Structure 1
Amino acid sequence: MPHYVALGKGRCVSIKNLTCERTIHHFMSAKFLLWFGLLFLVSLTVIAQDEATVMHSIDSVHKMAADTNRVRALLSLGRKWAAYFDNKKTDNICWQEAIALSQQLRYNRGLADAYNEIGTDKRNRSQYILAADYHEKAMKYAEETHDDHLIASSLNSIGVDYRRLDNLEKAFDFHYRALQVAEKINDTRNICVATNSIGNIELTDGKNEDAIAQFNRSLHLEEAANNPLGIAINLGNLGYAYQALKKTDLAIDYFKRSLAVNQGMKNNIGIAICYNALGSAYQDKKDYATAMDYLQKALTVNDHVDDKIHIAESYLSIGKLLAKQGKHEEALTNMQQSVDISRQWGFKAMLIDAYQALAGEYKSSRDFEKSLEAMNHSLTYKDSLIADKSATALAQMHTIYAVDRKDSQIKSLEHDKQVSELKRKRNVIVVFSLVIFTIALIVGGFFYIRHRNLKVNRRTLQLELRSLRAQMNPHFIFNSLSSIHRYIWSNNQEEASDYLTKFSRLMRMILDNTQHTFISLNKELESLQLYLDLESLRCNNAFEYHINVADQLNGEEVLIPPMIIQPYVENAIWHGLVHRPEKGRLDIDIKVENRLMTCKVTDNGIGRKLAMEIKERKGKTHHSMGMKVTMGRIELIRKMNNSKDANVKINDLADNQGNPTGTEVVVVLPVEFIF
């Protein structure tokens, strides 16, 4: 019988062929060294090319202006070349520059984004303490931006860091805060992350029913968003929760649904996880054949996954299943495969589990010496892992201290720079203040003299305005007395008495109002309404009138010259409305905008052209004194306010055929306010 020795996975040769094998091996070794040298040179060339490309990209960004656009460009460049910096095991200089520039610009959004990028990069390198520190810095700056999406994302990132550190209480707190912020703004992505993470924490804590509720909520949101990866993760998590509740058939159903989604995405890691989960579930049902089938499938898929820890995990799971079936030799072989792969790649946590499994298997085979040896190996790796974790934690704490110290130095330098800048600005301000003070004295003297001259001119104009206003009073009284005279001769005494009562009230108001340069709009409208009532009675209700004041206008606060509207109303009545065969209509619309009052007096009378013809036929040569005096008053108001806005426009209204339909007078005046 020939003797065989193992040369590797799936390969055995007889001793007779070893000499030939060794000869071939030496030849192949020389060839291998040649190829290795060539590959090494090629890799060096690729690295050099990558470095040149990175430096060229960074130089291009440096040509940009030192503003927020450069910060965003640096962040984008850092993400593009993240793998390059990871392979070099150096800090991403793009993100570091983004932080320095954002601090200089006080750009909180840039600081939050940069710290989030660095934190996630540290977490991907398993530096969870550093990751949490960077993400907490990001959250602080995110809160300064008041951007709830950024705040929720930062809180979720911190929660994941603390989950990796097995600090479930802190992890739950941060994910819950992220959920509250995300729900407030209906941020579906962060709601899904938070609910799924809270579910995982509750699953770890043994609160399986609560975990199922969280996973279901996250699943519904992911389905609504049509996110297959999120759907697959939540289906798998539901499977683990139901497996923990001993509802194995339901767990298998969810694992299979998750497997189908992962297969649709061709996600090998997800497929392998589902196969392993199904193997574990069928193992719980003691259906060892089906369990082995799924674990073998997981092993096959893991061959296509870059992370070799999954292959080691598959071999260990298969070994444990074979041990349960009493197939000790095969179990030992698979467990040893897991050990070999884990030792090759340095998976210390996996080595602890694999050696523990080997120790148990050797013990069941009553090979106590090998069992003890395996247990010693497990404890050695456990101690080494603890030491590594302590050293890593210490190194990360030193890094945090160094980063904080560097940030403090940057802030101190920035503060000194700001102090120097403030001193320089103070000196400039002092010089400018002296120059401005001198100019102010000169300009002030000029304006004082000018103001004194304007004051004298204003007093002169006010005297002229009072003179014109005094001319308005006898003019209006004369017209009103003429109306009373006609009314008494053509109507009964009772109506004449009522007319005289209203007229006396109107006279009292006019005498009172004309004592003042300005009166409130409400007082002007009250006297105008009384005047319109008298004219309506006088004309046997030949017209109706409507006074419309803008809703937002407070008539008590607005001050206007007295009797400024009445002449235009009188003109509309006596030259437009009284000649209509039908009942006429008079509209007075008032509004105030930007300290200017616009008053529109609109009638549906016969129009100016026909009124002039009637006037010419009657041989009247009288010109309206009220209109002439009012135009003079408006001209003086324009001069007093040094404004071109005060004016009067008269528009002839006509229908589509060009027939006159009335007249519109638009009076624009500057107004005063009580407050």
Structure 2
Amino acid sequence: MKQNRIFRSLSFQPMVGMSLMGLFCVISGVVFPQQAVIDSLQKELELHPAHDSVRLTILNEMVYAYYGINPDKGLETADRAIELATALNIPGKLAASYSNKGVNYWAKGNDSLALDMYLKALSIHAASGNAAGMATMYNNIGLLYFNKSLYDKAIEYHQKAVDKLKLLGDSSRLAIALNNTGVDYQYLADYPKAVDYYLQALSVYNKSGGPQRAGKVEADVYSNLGIVYKNMEEYSSAIAYQEKALTIYEKLNNRQSMAACYGNLGVVFDLQMQHEKAIEYYQKALAVNEVLGNQRRIASDLTNIAIAYTEMKQYEKALPYLQRTLAIYRVADDKNGASITLSKIGEIYLHAPDSILLQQQINPAERYKIAEQYQQEAFQLAKDIGALDRQAEALQNLGNLYEAAGQTKKALVSYKQYQVLRDSILNDEMKVEIAKKVTAFEFEKKEALLVHEHDKQFALAEAEINRQRVIRNAAIAGVAGLAIVFLFSFRLYKKKRDAEEKRKDIEFKMQVTDIEMKALRSQMNPHFIFNALNSIRHYVAQNNIKLAEEYLVRFSLLMRQVFENSNHKKVPLADDLHALELYMQIEAARLDNKFNYQIHIDSIIDTENTMIPPLLLQPFVENSIWHGITPKAAGDGLIKINIARQSEMIRCVIEDNGVGIGTERTPIYEEEKESPSGIGITRARINLLNHEQKANASLYMYPLDNGTKVEINLPFELNF
């Protein structure tokens, strides 16, 4: 049996807190490297000095982005988020802040502090009945039990997460939880069950369309399948899967996962007796983990380097590494890592020259006794955590030790126990079962294509049989012919009726598409874009580079938000208001701060989970600025936006103190009603919403003594 190395399973992806559906930060669109995301968020933070929920959301996003590349900075940012969330008294976002801080502690290998944070977040979610948040905490707590080698306990919590996420229909996070459960079973050497969970995760991921951060889940599954193939000693497949995973991690710039992948590749090369090449990969992993400060992963890399030196019989290099890592594993209560390290130290004491033992102040005559103590402790730790492969390795080492010491009876007992475990872990039946699972998964994808072609051919054959039957029956009897004619006429009538219904359906879908395209084109008035670019050019011409840069950053953030929102029929209210606020900031700067704005949201509204059509309010704010406030001589313009919940509706009110529309509608509104943009398109979108959802959304506009009031009522809709 090959000697065990520390083989890092990459599936352990924490679920982290952005408040959307609890504690997951999964966003759609193009995958940006994490540092680029942090840079963008930092600029947004600088442009949003107000200590409000928008700033809190940005801080929480930054905390998540840091965990994979700079967890120390993530912890610092998390403290700022917790302080702000406490001051604003927003429980959901406070839970997200605690959870994100826990993830950064987890990334550093500080499980005790991570658990404290997760339990605080879980308490908040349980009190508010947030099932999505509870699922996230179950998953993350499962990770901590895994780190302590309590695999049965880890399975219990990961399964709780799986059950919750299935009920919520949350595909992207379900893929993560399934994948994590697979790793639990893998460390119990239940490879068929592990593969089953991995393939479930990959299937869910593929069906969900592969959102951005779930791209890491795909890579995690590939890496974990590589680990399974490594354990089955199929090294070429193991390398292929690890390299496939590494390609994705490099695109994501997830350095922690890249380091784990380097280590995993090193293990495979080490098992193929390519020790120097293995050490190169271990050193690459170690360099990354030392920057990240993750003590557990540093210990893993050092252990693997020591094992490679041991295989090369360079015991004097290996022993200091192992003694250092054993101390780390004992502090972290990592029994799996400690078992491997103890077993390897015992092996060195058995085979090392007397000079090395003397350096360790060990009497060479005591080598067998001391080596046995290390192997026995390694076996007991492996037995405590149920790690069959670790138990088998310790038993094999004990057999070798007893044989070298001339204790043949003990050696025989150990070898027999080893063989029983070895056969239970890895046998031909298990290999066949795993191969069947992987083959079945690939077959199902191909079968879906074949079924379509088969159905088509079957339909053609059936049609030909029916035609022959009609001809035969017509020749037999005229009555049968008349019946066929009648049947044909009826089918013709039905086909005509179905065609008419299909035509109406197509016309409706074309109308929907037309409205959606018009809405997309109108989401940002071309005049606004032209004016914004002119303002930037004006600042540059005045050599006001700082103001031009700030204006350009806001403008680019707004464009990005608009394009992201335009991909969805519904977006979180917080995202839509963020885009609207950016728009008003840009217009206020362009008009020399001729107006201010106020946004008030009822405290009972969860802006992260309340969904509305994107940029539905923007045309009315635009109208207030251009046709209400701009014509005023005074520079005291004010736009007030109020969001309230009334029963099963969300009431959005926009008021301005502009010149007003008079007691009757002005030509502006009549023109907008007929034009393919602006307010007319908004009316069409609301009508379409009512038709599709059988809703009762409405739009009203009122003249005020000084200004205009717009009221939009939308159906209340949550994202879970």
TM class by shorter-chain length? 0.3 to 0.5
Q: TM-score, with normalisation over the residues of structure 1?
A: 0.38
More relative contact order, 1 or 2 (CA 8 Å, 6+ apart): 2
Larger radius of gyration: 1
